[in-house]
Chain A
């Protein structure tokens, strides 16, 4: 369990830089798995911002979440280039493979647009996916 002291350490790491809020939020999201209302309040106090300002930033960006999701996450690119390579036809099978156990998240472009359909699990990238290889990827996530 992470404490207010852990959070203070993360904040201190960036507080002296110009524009420290996003780097702090990235660290908090990575360590805590989310940015809770309590964390928002503590960050706001440390940076002399209002809670509303911090909440506004947290809620604006797709990468930050208010509650943790402990499930493994498979990010599947659904943007135009992967659409042109047939990703839409793979989604039903991937969803079936994911069930409730795996979070299947749509992202818009992983920069692998010439070898799609593409997906990302953590920092590992996967390309040239078909229904079978995507289902295997989801099952092994």
Chain B
């Protein structure tokens, strides 16, 4: 046997997969570049007849060819505990197929969802998506079927399907892995959505930080063009603005405008791209569609998960974790299971201090709450959010006061500037946290001292008053911002303050 499989996912490339692949080629082997299994601590992972070795360096290739390198061997990859515990639907092909092979795609059940959808009337497709219980995976968790129904019923000469692939949250990479590893599945999901709502044009808006995903998507769209015609897809590139992951600012960006958030209503489903009815769904939402539209898929999807969180969630284990990677499982799993049983604790070996779920706008969760089930409503009730399913682990060396400050600083840098609580509140938030952390309190400034500033305190503010002011500011941002950027930045700030007050300096 002289065929070896090595991933060409950009994470594997970043870990040196190309050099390892070249070493096998030099030794006369055939190298097949497949998608990534999602076991990132083992990348570059080398697979020979189902047996895996990782992480492999160029220096160990000769060992593997000679039948040695037992220390790197993980045995049969598919039986690895990290994979055996998962329930992979959206990532069913991960590690098993060549990303741009139409042959591999069709052989693994590809296009069966689209073929079946096209044999149904659009209203039935929408009903099946609704029945599956699928909710938007971008973060808001809005039921996909209801959104599609609104677009299908909206009057409009043109309608659009827009895929939100502006995956800016730190700690998330599932969209990237899907686009690089199984791009046809996303295209198939978009084609089904187009049939369901009556759209002829689709856009995939990808962030510019993902050059490999963009290249693969563009080639995949060309390869699949005849399969999805008359529906057509164009890949559009973002330009480094985090806020363009918000759906209305994403639409403005495609239109060629500043990525400023639009007030809602009107909903994008009624007046979206170029003023036309538009489906805007995340990569993972659309990629879940082909499975749901396959025979019996909707009821299978609905049977997984808990309460109103149905189906599976591709959870991303990131940050200071020993076994990081992609873990797709039914809703309901706890952080304890994810971090300790699956993830093996921290990479540094130190105790876990905090976990941030849901990206830069997600709350920091202390170990005492690690029994929280992965569920949209349970997280909301605990003042946290699932977001896009990123889980970032911090060990006990983390300074949570600094993390709170970073949340405000990030919001200030990335605010689109349209609404005041976000644009100005974030900068004031950084200043306030700095003052609180230095414990100094605040003297009366020149403006506050003016006689007409009747409501301003004339004695300066103590640290406690600054803390109350920060709480006020968080409330104003949460309730007064137009979108989730200003609205959720208070989550990491408040949670850090509540659970780790000692990290904000001496009282």
Contacts and interface: CB of A to CB of B under 8 A. Distances in A.
A19 interface: yes
Given A84-B320, A109-B209, A113-B173, A20 B256 contact: yes
Residue from A114, A118, A127 whose CB has the most chain B CB atoms within 10 Å: A114
A83 B353 CA distance: 14
B11 A115 contact: yes
Interface string A45-67: 00100000000110011111000
B256 A19 contact: yes
Contacts of A114: 11, 40-41, 173, 316-319, 321, 324-325
A81 B237 contact: no
A26 interface: yes
B403 interface: yes
A41 interface: no
B179 to A, nearest CB: 10
B325 A80 contact: no
Contacts of B86: none
Interface string A17-32: 1111111011000000
B253 A82 contact: no
Residue from A56, A62, A83, A111 whose CB has the most chain B CB atoms within 10 Å: A111
Contacts of A25: 239
Given A79-B170, A80-B356, A85-B320, A111 B40 contact: no
A38 to B, nearest CB: 20
B274 A18 contact: yes
Nearest to B321: A114
B173 A80 contact: no
A101 interface: no
Interface stretch (B103-111, B190-198, B391-399): B391-399
Interface residues of B, number: 60
B360 interface: yes
Contacts of A80: 170-171, 319, 356, 359-360, 392, 403, 406
B11 A112 contact: yes
Nearest to B234: A17
A17 to B, nearest CB: 8
Contacts of A126: 14
B209 A84 contact: no
Nearest to A77: B170
A22 B236 contact: yes
B13 interface: yes
A113 B318 contact: yes
A115 B259 contact: no
A124 B236 CA distance: 21
B209 A85 contact: no
A111 B11 CA distance: 8
B11 A127 contact: yes
A123 interface: yes
A110 B170 CA distance: 8
Interface in A64-104: 64, 79-85
Interface in B323-355: 324-325, 347
B15 A111 contact: no
A40 to B, nearest CB: 13
A31 to B, nearest CB: 15
A47 to B, nearest CB: 8
Contacts of A83: 398, 403, 406
Interface in B92-148: none
Interface of A: 17-23, 25-26, 47, 56-57, 60-64, 79-85, 107-116, 118, 120, 123-128
Task: List the 6 closest A-B pairs by CB distance, nearest first.
Answer: A114-B324, A21-B256, A79-B170, A62-B240, A113-B318, A61-B239
7 contacts: A81-B170, A85-B347, A111-B209, A114-B316, A115-B14, A115-B324, A125-B13
Given A63-B208, A80-B403, A108-B414, 17 more contacts: A19-B274, A22-B237, A23-B237, A25-B239, A26-B237, A60-B241, A61-B240, A80-B392, A84-B319, A84-B393, A111-B172, A113-B319, A114-B324, A115-B14, A123-B211, A125-B10, A125-B11
